[in-house]
Amino acid sequence: MNWSDAQQRQRSSHRSRKDSVNHPTAISQTSTASAIKYLFKAMRPKQWVKNAFVFAGIVFAEQHLFTNTWALAKTGAAFVLFCLISSSVYLINDLADIERDRQHPRKRTRPLASGKLSPTLARTTAILLSLGCLAGSAAIAFAAAPNDMGWTWFSLVLLLYFVLQIAYTFVLKNVVIIDLFAIAAGFVLRALGGAAILSVTITSWWLMCVLFLALFLGLGKRRNELQVLEGGAGDHRRILQEYSPQFLEQLLTIDVACTIIAYSMATFTAPSVPKEPYPFLMLTIPFVVYAMFRYMYLIIQKGEGGEPAELLFRDRPFLISIVAWGLLVLVILMVSGQQG
């Protein structure tokens, strides 16, 4: 019986080797598919939701543009370009931090840190994505000028965003407090890029709201890193030694107040919504307050907040509040647009 089993295993092994020789493309296709899978994962498509800030220009501009097909198309193009160039930045960041990420309890499972993705492939993709986005945007801007200067200003914002992210990856993330403002500046540039491509302006209150909201997300992420790494936070990244949970919680409390005040003022002074009989956008304030409090609860009480974009889809109450806010904003803008 054992001898028969051994012969069967030997024949099976022989057939397997023979099949691999006769069909080398099968192995090649499997490895290629695997490489594409892990490359796409390393590009972090779940983080693309952050680039939705480019739609701030079309939603909160003085003009009613969110029903304009051409404006939607241009903003959609801006969104895609920001998604691709931010993915190139994620690849560059993971390449720079590959050794540190291997010591991190969560980041060590990333494709590059775990060894599932070739650094050469990641490096090549990052170069092609960044150069392709910048060159493509510049080419469109050159073709559209001088009739449409929106693409020109957008191209400059996109370039500034890329430079800022590279500076953050190699320098700014190691400077206390400045690292948080660098993260926030990236979100502000997204909003400015969405406004620039449409050649419209966003009120200063909306920009302040974006700034404080981005700082809030950055503070939450830093606190989560301290909690996950515990005593080894400084070993993973030296800058984390400069922070403490208590200090970050104090900053979070201040920032929540600033965000709510900025958002409230933005709704009261929104130029795209009539002020009479009263500014209807103020009806969205409770949703924002709840979402901020819910996120702070998840950060402090539940130890979440490491990846804000993923938390958005994982926590149902938080997601419902954001969706409800978005729907209410659209309804108010559509009704006010019809009245205007």
Over 70: is that where the pLDDT of 244 sits? Answer: yes
> Cα dist. 292→124, 224, 332, 337 in Å?
39, 16, 21, 28
Over 60: is that where the pLDDT of 340 sits? Answer: no
pLDDT value of position 253: 94
Looking at every residue in the chain, the average pLDDT score rounds to: 86
Dump pLDDT digits (tens) for 185-210: 999 999 999 999 999 988 899 999 99
User: Residue 112 gets which letter from DSSP?
Assistant: T
pLDDT value of position 292: 94
Tell me what the mean pLDDT of segment 201-225 comes to. Answer: 91
DSSP alpha helix (H) spans, 111-149: 119-144
The answer to whether the beta carbons of residues 281 and 263 sit under 8 Å apart is: no
Query: Could you give the CA distance from residue 126 to residue 124 in angstroms, rounded to a whole number?
Result: 5
Over 70: is that where the pLDDT of 71 sits? Answer: yes
Tell me what the mean pLDDT of segment 17-25 comes to. Answer: 45
pLDDT value of position 101: 87
pLDDT value of position 31: 85
Dump pLDDT digits (tens) for 310-324: 788 888 999 999 999
Query: Could you give the CA distance from residue 93 to residue 113 in angstroms, rounded to a whole number?
Result: 11
Tokens representing 119 are 């650094």
DSSP state letters, 140-181: HHHHHTTT-THHHHHHHHHHHHHHHHHHHHHTGGGSTTHHHH
User: Residue 55 gets which letter from DSSP?
Assistant: G
The answer to whether the beta carbons of residues 240 and 233 sit under 8 Å apart is: yes
Query: Could you give the CA distance from residue 336 to residue 281 in angstroms, rounded to a whole number?
Result: 10
Query: Could you give the CA distance from residue 193 to residue 123 in angstroms, rounded to a whole number?
Result: 26
Q: Which residue has the higher pLDDT, 8 or 267?
A: 267
pLDDT value of position 107: 86
Over 90: is that where the pLDDT of 265 sits? Answer: yes
Max Cα distance, the chain (Å): 91
pTM of the model: 0.87
- The highest-confidence range among 24-38, 152-166, 214-228, by mean pLDDT, is 152-166
User: Residue 63 gets which letter from DSSP?
Assistant: S
Over 90: is that where the pLDDT of 64 sits? Answer: no
User: Residue 340 gets which letter from DSSP?
Assistant: -
Cβ neighbors of 51 (< 8 A, separation 6 or more) are 79, 82, 83, 86, 190
pLDDT value of position 3: 46
pLDDT value of position 339: 53
